[in-house]
Each structure stands twice: as C-alpha cells, then as structure tokens.
Structure 1
Amino acid sequence: MPSLSEETKGRIDHLEPGSVIGIVGGGQLGRMMALSARYHGFRIGVLDPTPDAPAAQVADFQETADYDDLDAIKRLADRSDVLTYEFENVDADALDQVRDRVAIPQGTDLLRVTQDRVHEKTFINRHGIDTAPWKQVDGLEQLDSALKELGMPAVLKTRTGGYDGHGQAVLRTKEDLQALQARMKGRDFPPSVLEGFVDFAFEASILVSGNGKDYVTFPMVRNEHRHNILHMTLAPAQVEPEMADRARDMALTLADGFKLAGTLALELFVMSDGGLVVNELAPRPHNSGHYTIEACSMDQFDAHVRGIAGWPLPNPRLLSPAVMVNVLGQHVAPVRRLLGEHPEWYLHDYGKAEVRTDRKMGHLTVLTDDLEQTAKDLEATGCWSDLG
C-alpha cells in the first residue's frame, strides 16, 4: 500500500490569482471546480477525451485526449501551475511522470489508496475506523473461504474500477453463488473484495477539506440511493450531536492521515445500533456535497480550490438546511417543464451534449426549514416517479 511519504513535496505555499489550474477530467465536478476557480481569479485548463466537455465550456483551454495519454498530460502540465483531478480513475503513474513539471498538491498516493478497495479499507482500518467486515478475494476458492467466514448475504466488488453499482455482485443465496460461478467458468477472476452486509439504518456522508496542514469539515448529511445511484441528499442529517461529532472526528483523522490537500468525501453507513462505519472514500468533491453551493458559507469546490492553492480554509457554516436531488437523463424534460412553477429550485445544468437514461445531467437544490416535507414535495411533482 502507498506510504504517503513523498506526498508533501507537491504542495505549494500560496498560489497567486492569475495562475493556471489544470484539471484532469472534464465532467460536472470539473465544471463546478472550474467555476469556483474562476471566482478565485485562476485560469483553467482541462484534459478530457470529449470535445467541449462540461468543464471545458468554462475553461481557458482543453487538451482533447484520453486520461492516460502521457503526451497530453505533459502538455497540460507545461501550461499549468497546479494539477488536480475530478475523479479517481486517473492514471497515477502518468501523473507521477509530470511531477517534475508541475505541482500536484493532492499527490498520487491518495489516488492509489482510493482506487484500490483493499488499500482503501486497510488505510481506514489502520486509522482505527470501522468498515464493513471484508476479505480480499482473488479466486473462486478464496471466495468460498471468505463466504464461510463472513456468511451471506455479502457483496463481491472488484478491487479497482466500478461506480454506481457497477463491478459488484450481491450474493444472498446459494443460487446467486452458483450463478456467479457459472459466469466465471473459463474466465479470469478479477481481484476483488468480499464485504459482509451490515445492518444499517441509512446512508450518510461527510466532506473534509484541507490545505495539507489544516482541515475543516462540512455537515454530516443523509443520502438516499435509487438503483445504486445517489438520488437525494438531506442536509444536515438528523442525528444526535454525538454521532455528528464522531463523523467529524473520523473525517479529520483520515484527512490528517493523507495530509489532505483539497476535498475528500467519506461515504458512511449509520448502523441500526448507533454505530458508524465508512463504506468508501472519494478523493475529490462529491455528489452529496452539491448542496453546499447554495446552503453553506463556503462550498465544497471553493474549499477544494483553496486547499490545492495552499490558501487558509475558514470553517464552513451551514446557512440553511437544504435538499439536493439529482436530475438524470430521464428527468431533464419534466424538470424543465416545471421549472417556471418553482422559484425555490436552484437548478444546475451540467452542459452535457447527450441526454441518456440514468446519466447525471444536473441537480437542483432547495433551501428549506422542513427537510422531510421538502423531500415529499419534490417527489410529489412526479419528475422522479420512474425511480419508484
């Protein structure tokens, strides 16, 4: 597992306005990152294979190439003062090859830890923080052994890759296991982890941001997923102060372990017995943090930009409770039809050229004094009726 021993070498003391931030990845997170950087006075470059990608629409220039195209990464590095990334499926080795050309404040060991579920869970556990019970699995024989120890139901996840439920297989019965064994017959078994199911009451998350020395957290929020995609976030989570403090302490512990520069998200399970475990980490701004744009004194993208720029970070304040809901491809038309009837909706369109079912096309946020009622009101519009 990466040692994180060399990571502080890529930090900078204070990036001046007018400097260039290069973003590897041109999706919606890069777009909102770029908009924040603009407000702070920075110039923006983007690397993305899609011409006129969402982030490129608000950037100064785009390198149109694959994320592992070393020549393109070198060109981006040579035109930038700092590199950052908007998602974790970035080629860490390629970034390492340009660290003599440009500062990479987040480092690449953070990527390597969060790209590999074994490294990630080991890192979390070594810092005294609970995860679901898990076992490394590299073949069907190891899977049988792990199932005997963890039992069923359990979920098998590939060590690398996978998002929104991809790269996962839920094993509830012997029939599920037999079906998996039949699918894998004659095929290479991907390096994986087996996770035991946990009895959780609901899913949550918390964001932490840092500049490599000092760290601040955003409120713990409650998340609802539909079909393995985040549907709605309620901020703040309605939990006892003691639980919110525990989540904050966990976030600060991991941030310090990484010597974090930028924003990190902890996806959490709130257990039925009051326990709290970390499910996954995301080494960048997170879907569940989009509410911060309207609802907080500093949003997650401002915190990320300030962190990688080496600027001081004020403690974010929640200015209003809020509900955030994703707008997937099938929701674009109904949301647009109703937009004129809902002045309380803060709609963010990501500028994606192709509308596809289940593709994240935007989100909207509502500031409210009644989270549960606002959530019900949003569902009652019928815009999200396909999700059940």
Structure 2
Amino acid sequence: MNNIPKKLPIGSKIGIIGGGQLGRMMVQAAKKLGYKTIILDPVPLCPAGQLSDHQIVAEYNSIPASKSLADMCDVVTYEFENVDLDSLITISEHVDIYPSPEILKISNNRIREKEKLSSIGIPTVKFLPIYSLDDLDKAIVEIGFPMVLKTATSGYDGKGQVIIKSKNKISNSIKKLLVNNTNFIVEEFLDFQCELSVICGRNKKGLNKTFFPAENIHKNHILDVSIVPPRISQEIISDAQKIAIQISEKLNLIGLLAVEMFLTKENKLLVNELAPRPHNSGHYTMDACKTSQFSQLIRILTNMPLGNTDILNPVVMVNILGDLWINNSSPPNFEMLKSSPNTFLHLYGKDEPRIGRKMGHVNVISTNVNEAYKKALEIRKRLNTS
C-alpha cells in the first residue's frame, strides 16, 4: 500500500481562518504556487480578503460559516491562535486542517503550553499555574520577585501580562487582569541576553526543515526588529534549531511552528512561547531565503516537497507600525525606498493606522548583518521624519 501523501492538484482551494497580514501573505504564496484561497474573516475586504479568490464574511465561531469553509476547500489552516476551537473541530470533521486543533489547544493556553513543554523535556522559565490567591502565595515562595503575571489565554504583543515587583502590587495586578479571565500563570522574570525564534516546518512524512534563527528586539512588547543571522555562536544557533525540531516531532506537527526562546546570560536556551503558524519574526524569509515561511506552509498543506530554507544573505527586518502615520503630519514617504538597493517593502493593505498596529515591514539585505541592521534603522528613521 502506498502511504505517500498525494500532492493537491494545482487550482485546489486552501481555506484560511483569519484575514490579517499573515493570511494575506499566505494568499500571495499560494497564488505563486498555483493554488486558490478562501478566507474566513468577519471584516469585509480584510487584508487577506483583498487578494483571495473568495471571502466568507462571518465570525470565527460561526459553525455554519465553518461548515461552508470546509465544504468549499481541500485543506484548511489558520493565521492566529485565538481561533474558536469548536469551529476548528467542526472543520476537521469534514476536511484536513493543519496544524491540528490539538496543537492549537496547547499553544493558545499558556498553562497547557508550559506544562506540555515540561512534560517532553523542553527547558522553560520557572512557572506556576494560578487558580487562586493561595497559588499566588505559593508563587512568592517558589518563584519570588520580580515575577510576571500573565493571563492563561488571549495574550499577544504584551497584552494580558504585568510585572510584579513586590507583594503589595499583587492585588492591583490581579484586579487589572481579572476582568475577563479566571486562570493565570506566574513566570520568573528573566534578565536574558537576547530573544530568539526558530520557525520549523514539518510535513506528513515527518520530515523537518528549520529556518535560520532570528534575533528579536521588542519595543513596548511588540516585535520591532529581527536580525538574521543572530549575533550569537554557531553552537547556540544549532541548539535552537534542534529544540524547535524536537518540539515539532513531539507534537506530531504538520504545518509550521514558531518557537520563541530566551537566551540567558549563562548561554542557556529557555522556550517561552509556541505559535503554530507563520510568525512576524519569519518575515525576513520573504526576501532572504530560497523559500519563504509562507511558501513552506503552502507546500506542506498541498503535500509538495519541503522547500530549501537556506539563507542567501544577512538580513534585518523592521516593522512598520501605525505610529508612523499618527505621529507625523503626513504619511510615510515610501517612494524614497525605490532609491535604496536591497530594500524590500511589504505593506499589508490596512486602511486605518493606529498606534502599535502593524501596517507593514521592510527587509534590508546586505553582505554584513551589522551593516543591514544599521541601514534598516536609518531607513525607518527617515520614514519617520519624511
């Protein structure tokens, strides 16, 4: 019996739950490989819907809409973690969906995520689930101050978390986060050397390929800059990739998995979060790799061979936030980038800039990573003053 997965024919339909910038770039990658896309998103003409072959305008938790998506598509994926699990399960009863709902259930809850990582031998920061004030008292003893209190669910870009520096700050912190949440997790506050991420793709055959790790710098809890290759030793780079592969295999991943890590000052890697989807820190792959993270996902979904993930040149990605529009009297002058060689602009089709909202990104390629970093920051500074 031949168990080799058959490639989906050109023209097959890929369903994408979520119509933001990640969905948009999935659509672009799918088109290049000859596949059609259908978006499920409640916002008409969302960034992904602008380019897709069809959009179902409905809430993510709409069971009828989920069934329609399943009926119309040959395979389904999603672009963010806060997807309604019941809807995913409904879809999975009719059509293949990757990564699996089981993996999403782990990654969209910080308690389940940390407990799963610990159970498979992956090092993480010290943590303790918080279900009551008694658990907080236990955390003070076992973890100590400062510590980070996070909601178990619905947190991204720094939302749903607060640093607690002393016992008298706890009650205020709880009140601040307890509005819509009942479960929390406390983690030790880590004075790390740098933050890294590795994106791993794994197909139905169980074959893995990782992209080069990115060194990530955050500003106001939002990714600001990704530097590739990271300014660390080759040994640590290799170890980070091995950890990502180990996690993907233990989870029986089919799809993409972004693994966010801390590198401690003692050169120890600790896994922080998982994201079973393309990741902001992987946008550099669009211009600096033979295969982008988005193309790799489409290849996995359609049973094509995994693409080559080699990095072609050092690259630095900088995010373009809505701040550039809000804080200046005129929109950014992107025309000036035309005169800047090896500079690649990607805008997301969003019509309403807001503070902290991701509107696009710029990839800058050079023969030297430090030169790419310097040039990328200079370009964004010029955009900010144009």
Could you state the TM-score of these two structures normalised by the residue count of structure 2? 0.92
The correspondence for 2:68, drawn from 59, 68, 75, is 75
User: What letter matches 2:105 in structure 1?
Assistant: R
In structure 2, distance between residues paired with 1:67 and 1:43: 20
**Structure 1 contact 331–384 (Cα < 8 Å) conserved:** yes
Question: Which residue is 2:11 aligned to?
Answer: 18
Inter-CA distance 111–335: structure 2 relative to 1 (3 Å threshold): farther
**Aligned to 1:56, what secondary structure does the other structure show?**
coil
Inter-CA distance 239–182: structure 2 relative to 1 (3 Å threshold): closer
The correspondence for 1:350, drawn from 335, 348, 351, is 348
Counting only pairs closer than 5 Å after superposition, residues 168-247 of structure 1 correspond to structure 2 as 168-180=161-173, 183=176, 190-212=182-204, 213-247=206-240
**Is 1:42 matched with 2:40?**
no
Unaligned runs of 5+ in 2: 326-330
In structure 2, distance between residues paired with 1:288 and 1:350: 16
Q: Report deviation, 1:220.
A: 1.1
**Structure 1 contact 217–248 (Cα < 8 Å) conserved:** yes
Runs of 4+ in 1 over 3 A off after TM superposition: 181-185, 383-386
User: What letter matches 1:277 in structure 2?
Assistant: L
Number of aligned residues: 375
**Structure 1 contact 262–306 (Cα < 8 Å) conserved:** no
Unaligned runs of 5+ in 1: 1-10
**Aligned to 1:351, what secondary structure does the other structure show?**
coil
**Structure 1 contact 138–189 (Cα < 8 Å) conserved:** no
**Structure 1 contact 236–322 (Cα < 8 Å) conserved:** yes
In structure 2, distance between residues paired with 1:322 and 1:152: 38
Question: Which residue is 2:328 aligned to?
Answer: none
Could you state the TM-score of these two structures normalised by the residue count of structure 1? 0.92
In structure 2, distance between residues paired with 1:27 and 1:329: 15
In structure 2, distance between residues paired with 1:88 and 1:182: 25
In structure 2, distance between residues paired with 1:267 and 1:201: 14
Inter-CA distance 52–183: structure 2 relative to 1 (3 Å threshold): closer
Question: Which residue is 1:370 aligned to?
Answer: 368
Question: Which residue is 2:119 aligned to?
Answer: 126
User: What letter matches 2:293 in structure 1?
Assistant: Q
In structure 2, distance between residues paired with 1:167 and 1:311: 39
**Structure 2 contact 364–375 (Cα < 8 Å) conserved:** no
Q: Report deviation, 1:308.
A: 1.7
User: What letter matches 1:269 in structure 2?
Assistant: F
Q: Report deviation, 1:37.
A: 0.8
Question: Which residue is 1:5 aligned to?
Answer: none
In structure 2, distance between residues paired with 1:30 and 1:189: 28
In structure 2, distance between residues paired with 1:39 and 1:334: 29
Question: Which residue is 1:29 aligned to?
Answer: 22
Deviates more, 1:234-243 or 1:357-366: 234-243
CA RMSD of aligned residues (A): 2.0
Counting only pairs closer than 5 Å after superposition, residues 76-155 of structure 1 correspond to structure 2 as 76-155=69-148
Q: Report deviation, 1:125.
A: 1.5
User: What letter matches 1:202 in structure 2?
Assistant: C
**Is 1:274 matched with 2:267?**
yes
Q: Report deviation, 1:189.
A: 6.1
Deviates more, 1:280-289 or 1:187-196: 187-196
Question: Which residue is 2:151 aligned to?
Answer: 158
Question: Which residue is 1:309 aligned to?
Answer: 302
Q: Report deviation, 1:385.
A: 6.7
Inter-CA distance 105–165: structure 2 relative to 1 (3 Å threshold): closer
**Structure 1 contact 232–324 (Cα < 8 Å) conserved:** yes
**Structure 2 contact 194–262 (Cα < 8 Å) conserved:** yes
The correspondence for 1:265, drawn from 258, 282, 287, is 258
- How far does the alpha carbon of each residue in 1:251-272 deviate from its partner, in whole angstroms, 9 at most, with x for none? 1111111222111100110110
**Aligned to 2:271, what secondary structure does the other structure show?**
strand
Q: Report deviation, 1:92.
A: 1.6
Deviates more, 1:163-172 or 1:303-312: 303-312
In structure 2, distance between residues paired with 1:39 and 1:14: 16
